[in-house]
Amino acid sequence: MSNRLDGKKILIMTSNTGIERDELAKPMEALRALGASVVHGSSDGGSTQTFVHDTEKDRTFESQMSLAGLHASEFDALVIPGGTVNADTLRQDENAQRLVNEFTQAGKTVAAICHGPWVLVEAGVVPGKTLTSYPSIKTDLINADAAGWVDQEVKQCPANGWTLITSRKPDDIPAFNEAIAAALEAA
């Protein structure tokens, strides 16, 4: 077990339903294996329902806290998994938007995969950034004044004092996890 991320604390933020299982579980497992402390916070706290390919109900995960009780000052990075329901629910959650803005204003790492960048759009942090995402939300990102959209497994964009990492889909999770780890090591 590597301890590359000893002392780093990461928040994985989800709604309570509709999360793409691998986009929650795999970063959580990989970042913990690298020595990070990973907290799973959800809209309401408690059980969160995951899905495979947004349609097949899978297992539930317990979140440690509700988003209302969390603050960026407690963490080094924020990870936003995808899943259309998860991202669409979070983009309407005031605490999710507050947390994204707290992380960016504090100069921390924010990473979103698949449909997760929808939350970034709603929080107003996309203008001027180049991102990747699930292809179906490319137009949403461009309409939110993103500087551009790229079709690559992971995109890291300098973001006025904070680090933005985006990724497209579950197949890209290994590169996504490595980009998060590298950003935290460099911080």
Residue numbers annotated as active site = 114-115
Q: Say how many Å lie between the first and final Cα of the chain, rounded.
A: 21
Question: Which residue type sits at 13?
Answer: M
Q: Tell me which residue of 187, 120, 125, 111 sits closest to 155, measured CA to CA.
A: 111
Whether the CB-CB separation of 110 and 166 falls below 8 Å is answered with no
Do the strands 46-52 and 56-63 form a parallel or antiparallel pair, or are they unpaired? antiparallel
- Grouping H, G, I as helix, E, B as strand and the rest as coil, residue 49 is strand
- In this structure, what are the phi and psi dihedrals at residue 68, rounded to the nearest 5 degrees? -60, -30
Instruction: Give every CB contact of residue 103 below 8 A, 6+ residues apart in sequence.
Output: 72, 75, 77, 78, 109, 110, 162
Distances, alpha carbon 9 to alpha carbons 71, 74, 79, 142, in Å: 12, 8, 11, 31
Instruction: Tell me how far apart the 2 most distant CA atoms of the chain are, in Å.
Output: 43
